[in-house]
Structure 1
Amino acid sequence: MSQTFNTKDVAEHNTVDNGLYIIIDNSVYSVAKFVDEHPGGAKILKRVGGKDASKQFWKYHNESVLKKYGPKLKVGELKEEAKL
């Protein structure tokens, strides 16, 4: 079952101990268990933890990476928030 998050919820998960969530194209992923496997190193994932990493992700990855790892890392969707 997929959860719905707002940006504040995701921001609270900005460390490995808290789950290390990132946003990619309005989907929320928990990358805490993937940190040590990440080919680019743990540092980059920790830097974008709790944030929207879409721009950084698409700069270095193609859609096949998301198809391969996305299903096991995805924890939910980002809820649309009102913009003032």
Structure 2
Amino acid sequence: MSKEFTPAEVAQNKSEKSMMIIIDGSVYDVASFIDEHPGGPKILKRFAGKNASKAFWKYHSKSVLEKYGENLKVGTVKEAAKL
């Protein structure tokens, strides 16, 4: 079972040890990928702890997520309770 994170929990993970981003409701820890990212570490650091969906899809195709996503995915974003 996949771990669920609130957006606030993701926002707390902005360090070199745990750098989480959200893409389409999935949570990825990109800390281990930061030195391999072709665009450099700066852009990953800018989106650390945030929803990076819009920026990700602007520069990447589905194949990139298929290639790297499974190894970096740590969970999903927990849906907010609807009142």
TM-score, with structure 2 as normaliser: 0.94
Count of residues in Structure 1 that have an aligned counterpart in Structure 2:
83
Higher helix share: 2
The runs of at least 4 consecutive aligned structure 1 residues that moved more than 3 Å come to none
**Equivalent in the alignment of 2:46:** 47
One-letter amino acid of the structure 1 residue matched with residue 65 of structure 2: L
Residues 1-84 of structure 1: pairs in structure 2 closer than 5 A: 1-17=1-17, 19-82=18-81
Cα distance, 1:80 vs structure 2: 0.8
Alpha-carbon separation, structure 2, partners of 1:16 and 1:8: 18
Note the residue ranges of structure 1 that are not aligned, 5 or more in a row.
none
Give, in whole Å, the separation in 2 of the partners of 1:22 and 1:83. 24
Q: Give the distance between the partners of 1:69 and 1:58, measured in 2 at CA.
A: 14
Q: Secondary structure at the match of 1:22?
A: strand
Q: What TM-score does the superposition give when structure 1 sets the normalisation length?
A: 0.93
Question: How far apart, CA to CA, are the structure 2 residues paired with 1:83 and 1:11?
Answer: 21
SS in 2 for 1:33: helix
What code does the residue aligned with 1:45 have?
L
